[in-house]
């Protein structure tokens, strides 16, 4: 597409086009919308982005992203400390929270084991997970991992590591399609998958 605006606006469009779900055309539309709503939208968005940049941290306990450390989920006293839901990515944590599926705490691995891509246990927060799992108040680990080969490899690996521990390891049941990614599931499916979890 030929440039129709100065480099400052083209840059804005290019950056917006890198967001998931936005292609070049919708990025252009979004940019134009922001420009038209400079006072109402662009200024607050700029401020929100700046504040977020300053304040965002990775939770030292669970790996969630928040402006508090430990994060809001980890410090919420209404959550059941006996359950840890293990997810690959922060997006999965947020998806499960959206589905209001479980009232436990989380552990974000930072990915899944993938020998082909050279992702080994040392690249994920598996050691931290194992030490959290040995906390006497933790009774159950729910492996909420993608129904992909890598997701299931990771689930098996973690289960093996905790074979001799007192913690019960469960996994998601029906509803997660083979090859499916949690982030793309609707809330109902995700909620059912958590409720019908089975012993690993
Ligand atoms: Zn946390």
How far is the centre of ligand 1, averaged over its atoms, from the C-alpha of 76 (Å)? 10
Read off the DSSP letter of residue 156: H
| Cα of 131 from ligand 1 centre, angstroms | 15
Instruction: Tell whether 48 and 71 lie within a shared domain.
Output: no
Total count of domains within the chain: 2
User: Is the omega angle on the peptide bond into residue 70 within 30 degrees of 0, that is, cis?
Assistant: yes
Q: Does 2 map to a domain?
A: no
The tens digit of pLDDT for each residue in 176-199 reads: 676 778 887 778 778 778 877 877
Show the domain range for 144. 65-171
CB 153 within 8 A of CB 170: no
Report how far residue 189's alpha carbon sits from residue 181's, in angstroms, rounded to the nearest whole number: 12
Token look-up 């690249």 returns 123
Q: H helices of the chain, where?
A: 7-17, 24-36, 43-55, 72-75, 90-98, 126-133, 149-161, 187-195
Enumerate the β-bridge partners of residue 66. 57
Structure tokens at 68: 């508090």
Please report whether residue 182 resides in a domain: no
Q: Using 50 as the pLDDT threshold, list the residues of the chain that sit under it.
A: none
The pLDDT value recorded for residue 11 is 94
The answer to whether position 27 is within a domain reads yes
Determine the pLDDT at residue 193. 80
For residue 112, the model assigns a pLDDT of: 96
**Total-model pTM:** 0.77
Whether residue 164 sits in one domain with residue 79: yes
Residue 124 has a pLDDT of 96
Tell me, yes or no, whether 43 and 116 share the same domain.
no
Q: What is the pLDDT of residue 74?
A: 95
Nearest-5° angle of CA 143, CA 148, CA 154? 45
Specify the residue for token string 């990771």. Answer: 154
- The whole-angstrom separation of Cα 73 and Cα 153 is 27
Q: How many A from CA of 146 to the centre of ligand 1?
A: 21
Q: How close is the Cα of 59 to the center of ligand 1, in Å?
A: 5
Rounded CA gap, 54 and 68, in Å? 12
- Per-residue pLDDT, 149: 84
Asked whether residue 162 is assigned to any structural domain, the reply reads yes
How far apart CA 80 and CA 67 sit, in angstroms, is 22
CA of 75 to the centre of ligand 1 (A): 7
pLDDT at 174: 60
Whole-number Å distance between alpha carbons of 12 and 102:
39
Any idea of the CA torsion for 147, 100, 199, 182, to the nearest 10 degrees? 0
């Amino acid at each position: 597409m030929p440039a129709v605006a100065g480099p400052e606006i083209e840059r804005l469009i290019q950056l917006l086009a890198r967001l998931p779900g936005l292609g070049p055309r919708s990025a252009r539309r979004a940019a134009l919308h922001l420009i038209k709503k400079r006072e109402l939208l662009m200024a607050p968005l700029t401020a929100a982005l700046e504040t977020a940049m300053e304040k965002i941290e990775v939770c030292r306990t669970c790996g969630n992203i928040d402006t508090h450390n430990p994060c809001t989920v980890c410090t919420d006293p209404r959550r059941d400390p006996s359950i840890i839901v293990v997810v690959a990515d922060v997006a999965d944590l947020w998806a499960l929270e959206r589905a209001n599926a479980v009232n436990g705490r989380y552990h974000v691995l930072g990915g899944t084991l993938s020998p082909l891509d050279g992702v080994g246990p040392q690249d994920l927060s598996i050691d931290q997970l194992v030490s959290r799992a040995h906390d006497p108040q933790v009774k159950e680990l729910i492996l909420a991992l993608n129904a992909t080969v890598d997701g299931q490899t990771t689930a098996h690996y973690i289960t093996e590591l905790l074979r001799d521990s007192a913690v019960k390891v469960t996994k998601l049941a029906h509803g997660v399609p083979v090859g499916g990614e949690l982030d793309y599931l609707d809330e109902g499916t995700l909620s059912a998958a958590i409720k019908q979890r089975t012993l690993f």
